[in-house]
C-alpha cells in the first residue's frame, strides 16, 4: 500500500492524481480530511495526523509499504520529515521517496534554513535502513501563480530575478508524474537521486508567453534583493521565509537553477516535460 504525506500541497496533489491514473489508491496523510477530499476527490482515502505526532503518524501509516514525503517549507521541516521517516520504519514500510531541494541549494552550510533541513533529512533517510529515492526538481512553474494579481490588474510580473537569466522551470505535474512512477518501482529507483527540470527559458520569455496566451501586454520588472526584502517584510512574511526566498534568488542569480535536465522526465514518464505555454494555457483562468 502507498501513502502520500503532504498530499494537499501542489506537488502532493499531482502525485496523488498520477497514482490514481495509474490505478493506485494511496492513503493521503493529511491534517484535515474534509479539505483533502475537496481538493483530491471524494473517493480519496485519508488518514489524519500531525507531522509532530509520532504516534499519530504511525497509526496513519500502518500497512503502508511505500511512502512519499512532500511536506511544506517551515522551520520545523527537518524534525517533521524525520518523524515521518521514523514512523514509516516503525510500522514496517520498506521504501521512502522524498521531494528535496535543488542540489546547489541543499547542504549543511547553505544560507536557507530549508536547504539545511533538506540535507539533514536526506542524510537521515540514507542511513536509516530503508530503501529510498530523492527527487530534486527545478523551480516550479506554479510559483508564478503568486503573481496572478499583478498580471490581472497591472499587466506585470515583479520578481527579484534578472529578466534574461536562464531558468529551467518544471511543472509540478511533471514532478507528480515522475514521483508516482518512482514510488511504484523501488527495484529501478531505490538509492538514486534524480535532478530534473523542464526546458530552460528566462522569466522575460515566460512573461512573453503569458502575454501571448492572454492576448494582452505583460511587462517584467526585476527587483533588487533589497527591494524584494522590503516588500516581503511589508507584507508580513515571516523572517525565515523572507531569508529563504532571498537565498533562492541569490543562488539563482549565480546559476543554481539554470541547468536544463529533461532526461529523467523523458526516461521515466515517457514524454517531454510540460512547456511554459502549456502551463499558461492550463492555468489561464488564474491570470485572467
- What is residue 111's predicted lDDT score, i.e. its pLDDT? 86
Edge-first strand listing for the sheet containing 200-202: 139-140, 166-170, 200-202
CB 45 within 8 A of CB 26: yes
Please choose, from the candidates 82, 61, 68, 70, the residue with its C-alpha nearest in 3D space to the C-alpha of residue 124.
82
Report the pLDDT value the prediction gives residue 73, as an integer from 0 to 100.
Answer: 87
- Give the residues of the chain that fall short of pLDDT 50: none
Which own/partner pairs from 279-282 qualify as long-range (CB within 8 Å, at least 24 positions apart)? 279/141, 279/142, 279/171, 280/209, 280/210, 280/213, 280/214, 281/213
194: phi then psi, degrees, rounded to nearest 5: -105, 115
pTM of the model: 0.96
DSSP 264: H
3-state SS assignment for residue 119 = helix
User: How many CA atoms does the CB half-sphere of 65 hold within 13 Å?
Assistant: 4
Amino acid at each position: 500500500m502507498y501513502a502520500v504525506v503532504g498530499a494537499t500541497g501542489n506537488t502532493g496533489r499531482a502525485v496523488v492524481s498520477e497514482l490514481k491514473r495509474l490505478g493506485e489508491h494511496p492513503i493521503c496523510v493529511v491534517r484535515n480530511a474534509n479539505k483533502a477530499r475537496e481538493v483530491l476527490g471524494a473517493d480519496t482515502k485519508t488518514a489524519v495526523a500531525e507531522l509532530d505526532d509520532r504516534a499519530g503518524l504511525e497509526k496513519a501509516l500502518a500497512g503502508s509499504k511505500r511512502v512519499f514525503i512532500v511536506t511544506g517549507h517551515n522551520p520545523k521541516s527537518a524534525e517533521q520529515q524525520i518523524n515521518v521517516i521514523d514512523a514509516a520504519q516503525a510500522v514496517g514500510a520498506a521504501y521512502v521517496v522524498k521531494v528535496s531541494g535543488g542540489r546547489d541549494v541543499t547542504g549543511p552550510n547553505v544560507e536557507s534554513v530549508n536547504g539545511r533541513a533538506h540535507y539533514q533529512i536526506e542524510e537521515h533517510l540514507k542511513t536509516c535502513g530503508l530503501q529510498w529515492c530523492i527527487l530534486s526538481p527545478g523551480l516550479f512553474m506554479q510559483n508564478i501563480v503568486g503573481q496572478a494579481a499583478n498580471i490581472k490588474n497591472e499587466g506585470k510580473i515583479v520578481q527579484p530575478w534578472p529578466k534574461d537569466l536562464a531558468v529551467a522551470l518544471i511543472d509540478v505535474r511533471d514532478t507528480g508524474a515522475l514521483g508516482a512512477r518512482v514510488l511504484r518501482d523501488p527495484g529501478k529507483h531505490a538509492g538514486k537521486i534524480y535532478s530534473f527540470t523542464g526546458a530552460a527559458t528566462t522569466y522575460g520569455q515566460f512573461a512573453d508567453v503569458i502575454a501571448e496566451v492572454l492576448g494582452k501586454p505583460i511587462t517584467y520588472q526585476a527587483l533588487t534583493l533589497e527591494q524584494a526584502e522590503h516588500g516581503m517584510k511589508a507584507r508580513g512574511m515571516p523572517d525565515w521565509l523572507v531569508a529563504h526566498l532571498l537565498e533562492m534568488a541569490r543562488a539563482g542569480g549565480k546559476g543554481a537553477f539554470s541547468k536544463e535536465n529533461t532526461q529523467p522526465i523523458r526516461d521515466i514518464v515517457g514524454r517531454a516535460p510540460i512547456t511554459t505555454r502549456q502551463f499558461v494555457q492550463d492555468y489561464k483562468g488564474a491570470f485572467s
